A and B are shown apart, each in its own frame.
Chain A
Amino acid sequence: MKPLFSEEALAIVEKYVAKFPEGKSKSAIIAILHLAQAELGGWLSPEVMDYVASILKIEPIEVYEVATFYSQYYTEPVGKYVLEVCHTGPCALRGADEMISYMERKLGIKKGETTADGLFTLKGVECLAACGSAPMMQCGLNYHENLNEQSVDVLLEEFKKESKVRRPFC
């Protein structure tokens, strides 16, 4: 299979694999899929997943099984910035739903949708372990906490100015 990862990415893959004993490289799949999502288009297409299977020398179905289990992997294309607002209990007590409504109005989309320009996807997600600084959201690597309408406005403007997509990998 033609390599999809860059040399740099392949070096990172080696580091992941080295964390596990010999013959246990499948363990690296979780980190590799994060990396694949970050480096190869922002989501996990069947082609990308088949490539990951070829790197780990496992059957493609083993990758599909893992990729569809975990909520951080996107198996459909998403916006350049995925705004993941926690909507679980403690955040809901401090205005998470209202924050999501505000962002829906601001972006002109509903929760779960992507803006027409492909810049933002808005998602309601389950607890991100930041209940003490609610409402909050994750975008890429970063947590944005104690949100209010003004701080969200500022953030969205900053995102629009940035050129690099920030997708997290270890």
Chain B
Amino acid sequence: MSEISLFKVTIDGEEVEVAPGTTILQAARQLGKHVPPAMCYYTKLQGSGGKCRTCIVKVTAGSTKDPRPMPKLVASCRTPVMDGMVVANETSPEVIEARKGVTEFLLINHPLDCPICDQAGECHLQDLGYEHGAQKTRYDFERRTFDKIDIGPYVQLHMTRCILCYRCVYTADQITDKRVHGVLDRGDHSEISTYIEKAITNDFSGNVIDVCPVGALTDKTFRFKSRVWFTKPVYAHRNCPKCTGKVTLWYKGDDVLRVTGRKDKWGELEDFICNTCRFETKKTADWVIEGVVNVDRHSVISQNKYTLKAEKPVVPELASKHTGEGTWDHQLK
């Protein structure tokens, strides 16, 4: 194999070497530090990104060959690195200020109904607001609202919360065989919709819930069952003829309240899962339990996990086989 010469990139003063074609965002993820927030970009969805503008960064030197700075802030998720590029993310006051602006734009028409939103606790907009938002809103106009609609038996669309990241549209386009929902209308009237009432029945349609960064698309089989931070995520798999069958089960006591795909540390799905696994396979007996999820995102879910000594879920199979592996205590040592 011929050796690929790597590009050296500096992000907030730290160097990382990445393959040509890597974006600034992915380079930062490889570095593991100074990672810009991303509300619309999704690694597995082709064409995603560039829209929300939260990941904007300052390129202070374009490359070794052409060290001029880029004239405007750029979307790190869609800008490929060059050898010798120097990027300022958290160290640039200009970036911080612009990101604060973007956060405000995303929030002015958001309902802020977190107390009754199923996404609360695992909402990327909540995290973004916490890290980059202002304490007060300057927007004193009526917020945009839409009626909630059911798109099929399993998914509810609450458009009022949507930030128009387009991820669900790309998912339907690329993961399912027939897209029935899309972005309609224009400007700030744009909405995700099926236009005329249509059920989304595709076997992989449930993935739109997992890719949604906010509580706009929620799992009807889980709605209002529990706050997510009172549930305990456990990795499990089963032999599924349609998908990899690798999932996360969300337990409350002995009950599986929800099944989702597995997400990596950036909140992105590792595999898209089918609707049978997601919505119709909710008994522990249906699954081979692998172990509890090590929640390392800064969400409230981890807060709960790291302070409580868990007694449940009881995972008999693993506990007996592997001396305590698979219990919370073991995982949290």
Contact = CB atoms under 8 A, between A and B. Distances in A.
Given A46-B195, A46-B196, A64-B195, A59 B180 contact: yes
- Residue from A46, A60, A61, A62 whose CB has the most chain B CB atoms within 10 Å: A61
B179 A61 contact: yes
Contacts of A60: 180, 195
Q: Is the interface of B mostly helix, strand, loop or mixed?
A: loop
B173 to A, nearest CB: 10
A145 B248 CA distance: 65
Contacts of B195: 46, 60-61, 64, 68
B194 A61 contact: yes
A68 B185 contact: yes
A91 to B, nearest CB: 21
Contacts of A71: 186
A68 B184 contact: yes
Interface residues of B, number: 12
A8 B114 CA distance: 56
Interface string B179-216: 11111111000000011100000000000000000000
A46 B184 CA distance: 13
Given A46-B195, A46-B196, A61 B181 contact: yes
Chain A binding surface SS class: helix
Interface residues of A, number: 10
A68 B183 CA distance: 9
B189 to A, nearest CB: 9
A62 B194 CA distance: 10
Contact of B180 (A46, A61, A68, A69): A61
A117 interface: no
A69 B186 contact: yes
Contacts of B185: 68-69
B186 A61 contact: no
Contacts of B184: 64-65, 68-69
A145 to B, nearest CB: 27
A61 B186 CA distance: 15
Interface of B: 178-186, 194-196
12 contacts: A61-B179, A61-B181, A61-B194, A61-B195, A64-B182, A64-B184, A64-B195, A68-B184, A68-B185, A68-B195, A69-B186, A71-B186
Interface of A: 46, 59-62, 64-65, 68-69, 71
Given A60-B195, A65-B182, 10 more contacts: A46-B195, A46-B196, A59-B178, A59-B179, A61-B180, A61-B195, A64-B184, A64-B195, A69-B184, A69-B186
